[in-house]
Structure 1
Amino acid sequence: MRLPGLRHTGGMLAAGSGAGLKDLMARMGHDNVRAAMIYQHAVRGADRAITDAIHRRLEARDEDQDTGTAAG
Protein backbone atom coordinates (compact mmCIF):
# COMPACT_ATOMS: atom_id res chain seq x y z
CA MET A 1 0.00 0.00 0.00
CA ARG A 2 1.21 3.46 -0.84
CA LEU A 3 0.79 6.76 0.97
CA PRO A 4 -2.16 7.99 -1.16
CA GLY A 5 -4.01 4.74 -0.42
CA LEU A 6 -3.41 5.12 3.30
CA ARG A 7 -4.49 8.75 3.13
CA HIS A 8 -7.70 7.82 1.33
CA THR A 9 -8.42 5.03 3.83
CA GLY A 10 -7.85 7.46 6.70
CA GLY A 11 -10.20 9.97 5.12
CA MET A 12 -12.90 7.35 4.62
CA LEU A 13 -12.58 6.12 8.21
CA ALA A 14 -12.76 9.68 9.51
CA ALA A 15 -15.88 10.37 7.42
CA GLY A 16 -17.43 7.11 8.62
CA SER A 17 -16.85 8.11 12.22
CA GLY A 18 -19.27 10.98 11.82
CA ALA A 19 -16.72 13.74 11.32
CA GLY A 20 -18.20 16.82 9.72
CA LEU A 21 -16.96 18.33 6.50
CA LYS A 22 -14.91 21.05 8.22
CA ASP A 23 -13.32 18.44 10.50
CA LEU A 24 -12.42 16.31 7.48
CA MET A 25 -10.96 19.33 5.76
CA ALA A 26 -8.77 20.09 8.76
CA ARG A 27 -7.70 16.49 9.24
CA MET A 28 -6.88 15.90 5.59
CA GLY A 29 -5.30 19.32 5.06
CA HIS A 30 -7.78 20.36 2.38
CA ASP A 31 -8.47 24.01 1.73
CA ASN A 32 -11.59 23.47 -0.36
CA VAL A 33 -14.82 21.62 0.22
CA ARG A 34 -14.73 19.71 -3.07
CA ALA A 35 -11.59 17.79 -2.15
CA ALA A 36 -12.92 16.92 1.30
CA MET A 37 -16.27 15.73 -0.08
CA ILE A 38 -14.53 12.83 -1.81
CA TYR A 39 -14.39 11.14 1.58
CA GLN A 40 -18.04 11.76 2.38
CA HIS A 41 -19.02 8.78 0.22
CA ALA A 42 -17.98 6.61 3.17
CA VAL A 43 -21.00 7.78 5.15
CA ARG A 44 -23.57 7.02 2.46
CA GLY A 45 -24.35 3.77 4.27
CA ALA A 46 -25.94 5.90 6.96
CA ASP A 47 -28.52 7.04 4.41
CA ARG A 48 -29.64 3.44 3.95
CA ALA A 49 -29.86 2.85 7.71
CA ILE A 50 -31.99 5.99 8.13
CA THR A 51 -34.24 4.99 5.24
CA ASP A 52 -34.70 1.50 6.67
CA ALA A 53 -35.56 2.89 10.12
CA ILE A 54 -38.16 5.24 8.65
CA HIS A 55 -39.63 2.40 6.61
CA ARG A 56 -39.94 0.16 9.68
CA ARG A 57 -41.61 2.99 11.62
CA LEU A 58 -44.15 3.56 8.84
CA GLU A 59 -44.88 -0.16 8.54
CA ALA A 60 -45.46 -0.37 12.30
CA ARG A 61 -47.80 2.62 12.11
CA ASP A 62 -49.75 1.04 9.27
CA GLU A 63 -50.05 -2.24 11.18
CA ASP A 64 -51.27 -0.37 14.26
CA GLN A 65 -53.89 1.46 12.18
CA ASP A 66 -55.05 -1.85 10.71
CA THR A 67 -55.48 -3.38 14.17
CA GLY A 68 -56.91 -0.24 15.76
CA THR A 69 -54.08 0.35 18.24
CA ALA A 70 -52.11 3.57 18.61
CA ALA A 71 -48.33 3.73 18.29
CA GLY A 72 -46.15 6.42 19.82
Structure 2
Amino acid sequence: MPDNFRFNDLRHTGNTLAADTGAKLKDLMVRAGQSSERAQLIYQHSTAKHQRKLAQGIDAEVRQQLRESADERRRTMDA
Protein backbone atom coordinates (compact mmCIF):
# COMPACT_ATOMS: atom_id res chain seq x y z
CA MET A 1 0.00 0.00 0.00
CA PRO A 2 1.43 3.45 -0.89
CA ASP A 3 2.71 5.60 1.97
CA ASN A 4 0.40 8.46 0.99
CA PHE A 5 -2.76 6.31 0.94
CA ARG A 6 -5.56 7.45 3.23
CA PHE A 7 -8.79 5.56 3.80
CA ASN A 8 -10.57 8.88 3.36
CA ASP A 9 -9.42 8.76 -0.28
CA LEU A 10 -11.74 5.77 -0.74
CA ARG A 11 -14.66 7.94 0.32
CA HIS A 12 -13.78 10.54 -2.31
CA THR A 13 -13.30 7.88 -4.99
CA GLY A 14 -16.46 6.00 -4.07
CA ASN A 15 -18.59 9.14 -4.12
CA THR A 16 -17.15 10.30 -7.43
CA LEU A 17 -17.71 6.90 -9.05
CA ALA A 18 -21.25 6.68 -7.69
CA ALA A 19 -22.02 10.18 -8.96
CA ASP A 20 -20.64 9.24 -12.39
CA THR A 21 -23.16 6.40 -12.58
CA GLY A 22 -25.95 8.95 -12.24
CA ALA A 23 -26.65 8.70 -8.52
CA LYS A 24 -28.71 11.59 -7.20
CA LEU A 25 -27.42 13.82 -4.40
CA LYS A 26 -29.74 12.20 -1.83
CA ASP A 27 -28.54 8.73 -2.87
CA LEU A 28 -24.94 9.80 -2.36
CA MET A 29 -25.76 11.31 1.01
CA VAL A 30 -27.39 8.07 2.18
CA ARG A 31 -24.48 5.94 0.95
CA ALA A 32 -21.96 8.15 2.75
CA GLY A 33 -24.07 8.55 5.89
CA GLN A 34 -24.21 12.32 5.55
CA SER A 35 -27.02 14.58 6.63
CA SER A 36 -26.05 17.73 4.75
CA GLU A 37 -25.59 18.49 1.07
CA ARG A 38 -22.54 20.59 1.89
CA ALA A 39 -20.79 17.63 3.50
CA GLN A 40 -21.55 15.44 0.50
CA LEU A 41 -20.21 17.96 -1.99
CA ILE A 42 -16.84 17.90 -0.23
CA TYR A 43 -16.46 14.24 -1.21
CA GLN A 44 -17.82 14.49 -4.73
CA HIS A 45 -15.52 15.56 -7.55
CA SER A 46 -16.10 16.30 -11.21
CA THR A 47 -13.95 14.50 -13.74
CA ALA A 48 -13.11 15.40 -17.33
CA LYS A 49 -14.65 12.08 -18.40
CA HIS A 50 -17.93 12.94 -16.68
CA GLN A 51 -17.96 16.44 -18.17
CA ARG A 52 -17.59 14.90 -21.65
CA LYS A 53 -20.43 12.50 -20.88
CA LEU A 54 -22.64 15.41 -19.79
CA ALA A 55 -21.79 17.37 -22.95
CA GLN A 56 -22.59 14.37 -25.12
CA GLY A 57 -25.93 13.92 -23.36
CA ILE A 58 -26.83 17.58 -23.84
CA ASP A 59 -25.81 17.38 -27.50
CA ALA A 60 -27.96 14.28 -28.03
CA GLU A 61 -30.95 15.93 -26.34
CA VAL A 62 -30.65 19.11 -28.45
CA ARG A 63 -30.32 17.07 -31.66
CA GLN A 64 -33.41 15.02 -30.73
CA GLN A 65 -35.45 18.15 -30.04
CA LEU A 66 -34.35 19.66 -33.37
CA ARG A 67 -35.40 16.48 -35.21
CA GLU A 68 -38.77 16.47 -33.46
CA SER A 69 -39.29 20.14 -34.27
CA ALA A 70 -38.40 19.58 -37.94
CA ASP A 71 -40.75 16.57 -38.10
CA GLU A 72 -43.56 18.64 -36.59
CA ARG A 73 -42.99 21.45 -39.13
CA ARG A 74 -43.11 18.92 -41.98
CA ARG A 75 -46.36 17.42 -40.67
CA THR A 76 -47.87 20.89 -40.37
CA MET A 77 -46.85 21.80 -43.91
CA ASP A 78 -48.20 18.48 -45.30
CA ALA A 79 -51.57 18.94 -43.62
**Percent sequence identity over matched residues?**
40
Cα 1:28–1:13, aligned 2, differ >3 Å: closer, same or farther? Answer: same
Deviations 1:25-56 (A, max 9, x none): 01011110122234163554432112332465
Correspondence for 1:14:
18
Taking only aligned residues, the RMSD between alpha carbons, in angstroms, comes to 3.0
Q: CA deviation at 1:7?
A: 1.0
* Distance in 1 of aligned mates of 2:61 and 2:28: 28
Q: Which amino acid aligns with 2:35?
A: D
Q: Unaligned stretches of 5+ in structure 2?
A: 69-73
The gaps in structure 1 that reach 5 residues or longer are: 62-68
**What SS is found at the alignment partner of 1:9?**
helix
- TM-score normalized by structure 1? 0.61
Structure 2 residue matching 1:14: 3-state secondary structure? helix
Q: Does 2:75 correspond to 1:41?
A: no
Which structure has the larger Rg? 2
Equivalent pairs counted in the alignment come to 67
With normalisation by structure 2, the TM-score equals 0.57
